[in-house]
Homo-oligomer: A and B are copies of this chain.
């Protein structure tokens, strides 16, 4: 009997936003794995730290932050080498995923390497998308609205086109693209219909008007919600 690889969405940051299912599977797994920076602590692990008893084998998947735009294949190849022996020995492995495993998550790089060799089960989690809407007190979308999730890294022309074409837009992974995004929104006359939130549901959550944001200090986990109609319900 081989073990199962669980991809557990543990929610956007507040430890209480984990689901009963993810918590049960997290605690039952003899091995846990999580993404982490080259040096330092894992945000994913920090989200669930209060739920752990310290008895599990831990595998940190260290992803180089610098360098190529997309996660280094090497890091995931090494993660497979570290995880596979546990599964082969019949031990379940819980991969901890910030937010939801399949919503722009790095879990998919493990998933594509594992799905043909081992049982894999994905447990959905509360994504940053709905967490940001709750933090802002702003419905994401309603009725026949199209809601587009738009990575901030896109080039200006595409960014503009895609923001303009949706009734509601969530611009994600803002980070050092903030100034570019702010300029696009200002030019489109959408600045007043846009709201910024960083670290939604975490203890350092901040909500700011676009003109209050200091561009150099915008974290990766930040989002701008834009409603062309002003409010989703109008």
Choose among B101, B142, B166 the residue that contacts A134 (Cβ–Cβ < 8 A). Answer: B101
Flag A150-167 by CB within 8 Å of B: 1 or 0 each: 110110000000100110
Assembly CA distance A148 to B14 (angstroms): 26
Say whether A148 contacts B146, CB under 8 Å.
yes
Shortest distance in angstroms between A59's beta carbon and chain B's nearest beta carbon? 21
Whether A16 pairs with B9 at a CB distance below 8 angstroms is: no
* Number of residues of chain A lying within 8 A (CB) of chain B: 62
Query: Which residues of A come within 8 Å of B, CB atoms?
Result: 9, 11-12, 14-21, 23-24, 69-70, 100-105, 108-109, 111-112, 115, 120, 122-127, 129-131, 133-134, 137-151, 153-154, 162, 165-166, 201, 231-233
* B151 and A144 form a contact (CB under 8 A): yes
Contact partner of A18 (CB less than 8 A), chosen from B20, B109, B149, is B20
Q: List the B residue with the shortest CB-CB distance to A101.
A: B134
How long is the Cα–Cα vector from A232 to B19 in the complex, in angstroms?
25
A selection of 10 A-B contacts at a CB cut-off of 8 Å is: A15-B20, A16-B19, A100-B133, A104-B145, A105-B139, A124-B130, A127-B130, A144-B154, A149-B149, A165-B165
Question: Is there contact, CB below 8 Å, between B139 and A146?
Answer: no
In the bound complex, how far is the Cα of B144 from the Cα of A70, in angstroms?
10
Residues of chain B within 8 A (CB-CB) of A201 are 124
Pair B148/A102 contact, Cβ less than 8 Å: no
Chain B residues, CB < 8 A from A16: 19-21, 24
B11 A19 Cβ-Cβ under 8 A: yes
